[in-house]
Structure 1
Amino acid sequence: MKIKTLLQPGSALLMLGAMALPALAQDTAAAPEVAVAATEVPVHTVYILNTLLFVVSGFLVMWMAAGFAMLEAGLVRSKNVSMQLTKNVALFSIAAIMYYLIGYMLMYPGDAWTIPGVLGAFGVATLEPVGVAPDAADALDYASTGSDFFFQLMFCATTASIVSGTLAERMKLWPFLIFTIILTGILYPIQASWKWGGGFLDADFGFLDFAGSTVVHSVGGWAALTGALILGARKGKYVDGQVHPMPGSNMPLATLGTFILWLGWFGFNGGSQLAMGSVGDAADVSRIFANTNTAAAGGAIAALILTQILYKKVDITMVLNGALAGLVSITAEPLTPSLGVATIIGAIGGVIVVFAVPLLDKLKIDDVVGAIPVHLLAGIWGTFAVVFTNEDATVYGQVASIVIVAVFMIVTSGVVWLILNGIMGLRVSEEEEMDGLDKGEIGVEAYPEFTKI
């Protein structure tokens, strides 16, 4: 994600030195040379602008939590809406605490690796002192530690949000929340350190993943897939070889959620430039915004046209997920493509969704909101697509890293799911599933005037 090992609190790295580096994107790819001499921009200005980028991008990504909540609320049935809303609020809160207690240092250990390049440091996150003196330039980091922690936390929380929707409508609340503790505190930070913390995928494989098509999205997708396989499908979804659709409760909410996610993605990808203190950085951030937007549009249009051709009618859920798949696809490299290529990358993500959703049904893998096609499969595609636009990427480095992260997540998340299933059970009872999880698990129904009829 960044050259974090150089930027720990108390680092001797000067802001002036940081300005002389290429733009520090989350995959450390070189950016065009800055046209303005570094000496023309005060070091404190760079510090302030970088911090501002992190803070603004961070709260944009935080807004994606609302997007996931609305998307899931719209795509589940009325009797399960409160459950999904509860899970989304709870998982975000859990991620915030676990990332502070253990995740941040595991992900960005600096020189304090427990196992060099593989396992980070154990300890809580710490911030710089209150009221940093403006004349203490030799003690300033590249940006404030608080803004960095806040920004990186949002990526951690996003990973857990991906899992929530796939396992909806049949999973107990507390096993999910316990899994979230482990995912956000341990599993996500460990594998993210391998790339963004300067670990072995970055150092030995030359892995490029600008903002997390693999590090965030496919990680959440693998956790969701293993959970879905162990949990099983909803009752009545697959009967006698037939797929029985279970339409969502509220398409306006699902559409609102999609647009909120689309908006938040500008912070997700744009903030991953990790620098705003030069002309080149500012231009690159704007380029990332444009490419991110057009990839989403490409994914939505591809799904729109393809569902019309295949089913003779447009499927709004496919169009929404097509847009999200376009966003996931461009996330691994939103800087180097042209607008046209970014549109194509996103459009292929939309195509993947349209074909993957029925394929999962054939395999009897019940993914309520389509998170596996959107985040896992489009994430894999987007990570591989980096080789087409970034000359520093290699097929071996990208594919090997995808496989390594996949094996790690399948094994670790699978073990956690199985242990939770053995100790407390993952599924609600058949009666609770039929009545709805709002009544059985939460006690507050989202639409009581409808679900009590």
Structure 2
Amino acid sequence: MTIEELSYSLDTFYLLISAALVMWMAAGFSMLEAGLVRSKNTTEILVKNILLYAIACTCYLLIGYRLMYGSPDVTDFAPSADFFFQMVFVATAMSIVSGAVAERMKLLSFLIFCIVLTSFIYPIQGSWSWGEGFLDQAGFVDFAGSGIVHMAGASAALAGVLLLGPRKGKYGKDGEINAIPGANMPLATLGTFILWMGWFGFNGGSQLQLSGTDNADAIALVFVNTNAAAACGALAAFVIVRLVWQKADLTMILNGALAGLVAITAEPSTPTPGIACLIGLGAGLLVVLSIVVLDRLRLDDPVGAISVHGVVGLYGLLLVPVTSSDATVLNQLYGAGTIFAWVFGLSLVAWFLLKITLGIRISEDDEYQGSDISDCGVEAYPEFVTQKTS
């Protein structure tokens, strides 16, 4: 076997293993969201997550990949490995939407939107940057997808939340904000750890090649920086909620870790580990502030997805010029603004068309009873439900 053949095999294997780690993030999103919704909506959110992954894979295979990349000349590793790696990213973007619209959206309308986002909206904006389009030519830098994946998913989610409205009982007539606790904190925590683990494939795999000392060194640094940002994001969120509310709010801590991961994703290969820690600290503080502000604006996001992936995704993009000479703040703003305008605008149109045709919100009775019964006919925790006896 020649050196070229060995490098080809090694890089193909590395890309496939990285893609498998990113695919495992689908389990993380499923567990996180299942833990943060009420028990009566658990089965339905799991159905959404498994079907959105299946839809994303199929639509990207049939339509999306070609729209995003055309027929790329892939020579350093197997072309199918490149496709598989890119495919699991689009599923991640769609997973962000499911949590934000949880507990009150019609399942069928959600699945139809999945088709639109993964077949058309996401691939088109992806082609402008990773597909060597005009954003790439303009100097926009997004190493692993803080904007292209995370902010894009959050933009689509925001459009849906605006048209969908809040859950019943979330906001009172006098401006009060009522907490609606999730059903299973162990599941939410497990989901976060799964996402944290999968992120090493998300960011590390985006180097695309392992062979060669330069690539190996870069990947090792990416792993260290990814982990450092997540850890410091969790710590920052803990400190701020402890100081402000005198409580160790687990949901905020989990979102702090995820915020650190999202922020470092824009460019994990150029910061030092110390700077990665600072990026994570800023992300952890920012996500807590964003969740509180959006709640006061009456934007009901049960899992904090818009804050974690949207607000912090933009934050991560704007920090790239601090450590990378290839980026400027103006170019980063241009890229972020373009992605947001496209994804939010098209998503708003798609959600609106669904709203005036099929409808996007379940009935008040179904919302009260829970989507597990109305949409799925299967309760996640039937042993805890009191049933009438004859």
Instruction: Report the TM-score range of the alignment, normalised by the length of the smaller protein.
Output: over 0.9
Give the alignment of 1:164-183 within 5 angstroms.
164-183=98-117
Match in the other structure for 1:330? 264
1:97 and 1:452 map into 2 onto residues whose CA distance is 40
Task: Give the partner amino acid of 2:10.
Answer: L
- Would you say 1:450 and 2:390 are equivalent positions? no
Match in the other structure for 2:156? 223
The answer to whether the 8 A contact 1:78-1:451 is kept is no
Question: Unpaired runs of 5+ in structure 1?
Answer: 1-39, 112-138
1:451 and 1:201 map into 2 onto residues whose CA distance is 53
Alignment partner of 1:195: what SS? coil
Match in the other structure for 1:49? 10
1:305–1:450 distance in 2 versus 1, CA, 3 Å: same
1:219 and 1:53 map into 2 onto residues whose CA distance is 26
Q: Which of 302, 311, 316 pairs up with 2:236?
A: 302
Structure 1 residue ranges (4+ consecutive) displaced by more than 3 angstroms after TM superposition: none
- Would you say 1:273 and 2:273 are equivalent positions? no
Q: CA deviation at 1:49?
A: 1.4
- Would you say 1:397 and 2:328 are equivalent positions? no
Q: Which of 75, 85, 91 pairs up with 2:36?
A: 75
- Would you say 1:210 and 2:143 are equivalent positions? yes
Q: Which of 84, 88, 91 pairs up with 2:45?
A: 84
1:335 and 1:140 map into 2 onto residues whose CA distance is 23
Task: Give the partner amino acid of 1:231.
Answer: L
- Would you say 1:232 and 2:193 are equivalent positions? no
Match in the other structure for 1:132? none
Alignment partner of 2:77: what SS? coil
The answer to whether the 8 A contact 1:79-1:451 is kept is no
Alignment partner of 1:325: what SS? helix
The answer to whether the 8 A contact 1:288-1:335 is kept is yes
Q: CA deviation at 1:94?
A: 0.3
Q: Which has the larger radius of gyration?
A: 1
Match in the other structure for 1:190? 124
Match in the other structure for 2:226? 292
Q: CA deviation at 1:396?
A: 1.1
Match in the other structure for 1:318? 252
Query: Which digits, 9 at most, give the CA deviation of each residue in 1:363-386, with x for residues without a partner?
Result: 100001000110000100001100
The answer to whether the 8 A contact 1:110-1:197 is kept is no
Q: CA deviation at 1:145?
A: 1.1
2:111 and 2:268 map into 1 onto residues whose CA distance is 32
Q: CA deviation at 1:223?
A: 0.4
Task: Give the partner amino acid of 2:48.
Answer: K
Match in the other structure for 2:367? 433
Give the alignment of 1:401-416 within 5 angstroms.
401-416=335-350
Query: Which digits, 9 at most, give the CA deviation of each residue in 1:164-222, with x for residues without a partner?
Result: 0000000010100000011011111100110000000001x200000000000000000
1:168 and 1:140 map into 2 onto residues whose CA distance is 39
Match in the other structure for 1:95? 56
1:343–1:140 distance in 2 versus 1, CA, 3 Å: closer
- Would you say 1:244 and 2:178 are equivalent positions? yes
**TM-score w.r.t. length of structure 1:** 0.84
2:8 and 2:31 map into 1 onto residues whose CA distance is 35
Q: Which of 285, 290, 300 pairs up with 1:356?
A: 290
Q: CA deviation at 1:361?
A: 1.1
Q: Which of 68, 72, 76 pairs up with 1:142?
A: 76
Higher helix share: 2
Task: Give the partner amino acid of 1:227.
Answer: G
1:140–1:428 distance in 2 versus 1, CA, 3 Å: closer
2:216 and 2:363 map into 1 onto residues whose CA distance is 54
1:172–1:452 distance in 2 versus 1, CA, 3 Å: farther
2:52 and 2:127 map into 1 onto residues whose CA distance is 21
Task: Give the partner amino acid of 2:142.
Answer: D
Alignment partner of 1:243: what SS? coil
1:253 and 1:245 map into 2 onto residues whose CA distance is 19
2:59 and 2:126 map into 1 onto residues whose CA distance is 15
1:344 and 1:140 map into 2 onto residues whose CA distance is 36
Question: Unpaired runs of 5+ in structure 2?
Answer: none
Aligned length: 386
Q: CA deviation at 1:140?
A: 7.7
Task: Give the partner amino acid of 1:423.
Answer: T
1:352–1:232 distance in 2 versus 1, CA, 3 Å: same
2:270 and 2:28 map into 1 onto residues whose CA distance is 27
Alignment partner of 1:238: what SS? coil
Query: Which digits, 9 at most, give the CA deviation of each residue in 1:221-241, with x for residues without a partner?
Result: 000011000000000100121
Alignment partner of 1:171: what SS? coil
1:425 and 1:330 map into 2 onto residues whose CA distance is 38
Query: Which digits, 9 at most, give the CA deviation of each residue in 1:312-368, with x for residues without a partner?
Result: 111000000000000000000000000010011111111111111111111100001
Alignment partner of 2:128: what SS? helix
- Would you say 1:108 and 2:69 are equivalent positions? yes
